[in-house]
Copies of this chain bind each other. A is one copy, B any other.
Amino acid sequence: MPLPEKALIAQIRRTARSATRPHATSRKRTILTGVGDDCAVLRLPAAHDSLVTTDFSLEHIHFRRDWHPPESVGHRCLARGLSDIAAMGGKPLAIFLSLALPPDLRQSWVNRFIAGLRNLAEQHRASLAGGDTAESPGGILADIVVVGSVPKGKAVLRSGAKPGDRIYVSGELGGSAAAISLMRAHPNHKLHPQAYPRHFYPQPRLELGRFLREKKFVSSMIDTSDGLSTDLAHICEESGVGAEIDSTAIPRATIGNPGREVDLDLALHGGEDYELLFTAPEQKRIPSRIAGVRVTQIGKITRSGEVFLNNSQGKISRLHPLGWEHFRKVAR
């Protein structure tokens, strides 16, 4: 362990304290007791439901030290959790980080990891409230917990899609998986994180998620963490419906210079873009840009129970969920 467990806790605690300070005047205190007791004590807002999500970020599975700068690992680790809160239309309040470190890890790696995580946390006014630390038996292991809130009974679920609803997606898809493909294909060529922000510094769509929930636009919502094909299948399964989407309508990310659109396969199955995929009744007028993010209609919900893709020649085929296994894994 680069610092003994206690020193690391002390460091996270300082981070937690400094992260709490800026908001102390602007809103009621959520974290009554943070790092340094058996539990964190939270005072969650009245007349709200609580949201809880947990996400692993494991070295060799979710990131690689030779591919990802520590700031990116910290950012992506938290982005996963914040994006889950966004997909419920919620607001993040408190973050818990469980972090296991190999004994030979340099302290500078930990500092930069925490800086990346804290930077994103501050952008969304969420504070580090606790967690656990341990020595790792192998590789860097992080598990992030985000606690958020949403007005009572208003959480947007995956299960509300109805036949006839239109399907929308925010931003562009496939950009994150495209970066992984490039790193796999050229192991000795380091990508510039600034040139591939969708992979290294994805932005959870919290403002968009809250807007959609407040305006009562949406019938169901999920984030595109597993890839469009898999995440749409989740909505269909939970809602007991099917879907038809148009391949030409899918907004594909642009990478490189000169920019080119990523392959359709990456946009369909790539995942880890942390955009929002949602459905809305046909009569709702969904703006094409919300909170600075493009919103695109890509298809509609059907009764069928299956997901179909219309290609550019008007041919229809089954769209099978192929997410994580094929496109997202950094290892193997």
| Chain A residues engaging chain B, CB cutoff 8 angstroms | 5, 32-33, 36-44, 46, 49-56, 58-62, 83-85, 87-88, 90, 94, 96, 98, 100, 129-132, 134-139, 141, 143, 145, 147-148, 150, 152, 155, 157-159, 221-223, 238, 324, 331
Are the C-beta atoms of B88 and A41 separated by less than 8 Å? yes
How many chain copies does the complex carry?
2
Report the bound CA distance from A137 to B136 in whole Å: 11
Determine the main DSSP class of A at the interface with B.
strand
Tell me whether A52 and B42 are in contact (CB under 8 A): yes
Q: For A134, what are the chain B residues with a Cβ–Cβ distance below 8 Å?
A: 56, 58, 61-62
Do A136 and B38 touch across chains, with their CB atoms under 8 A apart?
A: no
Add 17 more A-B contacts to A32-B49, A37-B157 (CB < 8 A): A37-B88, A38-B83, A39-B148, A39-B155, A40-B51, A42-B50, A42-B52, A44-B44, A50-B50, A50-B147, A52-B129, A54-B143, A96-B145, A132-B143, A137-B139, A138-B139, A147-B147
**Contact call A155/B41, Cβ cutoff below 8 A:** yes
- The residue from B51, B94, B100, B331 contacting A56, defined by CB atoms under 8 A apart: B100
Contact of A54 among B55, B58, B87, B98 (CB under 8 A): B98
Verify B324–A54 contact, CB threshold 8 A: no
For the complex, give the distance between the alpha carbons of A177 and B159 in Å: 48
Q: Which of A37, A40, A41, A222 has the most CB of B within 10 A?
A: A37
Chain B proximity of A17: nearest CB distance (Å): 14
Shortest beta-carbon distance from A176 to chain B in Å? 17
Pair A51/B39 contact, Cβ less than 8 Å: yes
Contacts of A61 in B (CB 8 A): 100, 134-137
Residues of B within 8 A of A90 (CB): 39
B324 A98 Cβ-Cβ under 8 A: no
Contact in complex: B58, A141 (CB < 8 Å): yes
* Cβ-closest chain B residue relative to A60: B137
Please measure, in the bound complex, the distance between the C-alpha atom of A54 and the C-alpha atom of B143, giving whole angstroms.
9
- Residue ID in chain B nearest A59 by CB atoms: B137
Q: Would A324 and B52 be within 8 Å (CB), given that A36-B158, A87-B38, A137-B59 are in contact?
A: no
Q: Are B152 and A58 in contact (CB under 8 A)?
A: no
A224 to chain B, nearest CB (A): 11
Most-contacted residue by chain B among A38, A96, A131, A152 (CB, 10 A): A38
Q: Which residue of B lies closest to A135 (CB)?
A: B61
Closest to A131 in B: B54
Q: List 17 A-B contacts (CB under 8 A).
A: A32-B49, A36-B238, A38-B53, A38-B83, A38-B84, A38-B85, A42-B51, A50-B50, A52-B130, A53-B130, A54-B143, A54-B145, A56-B100, A56-B132, A58-B100, A98-B143, A141-B141
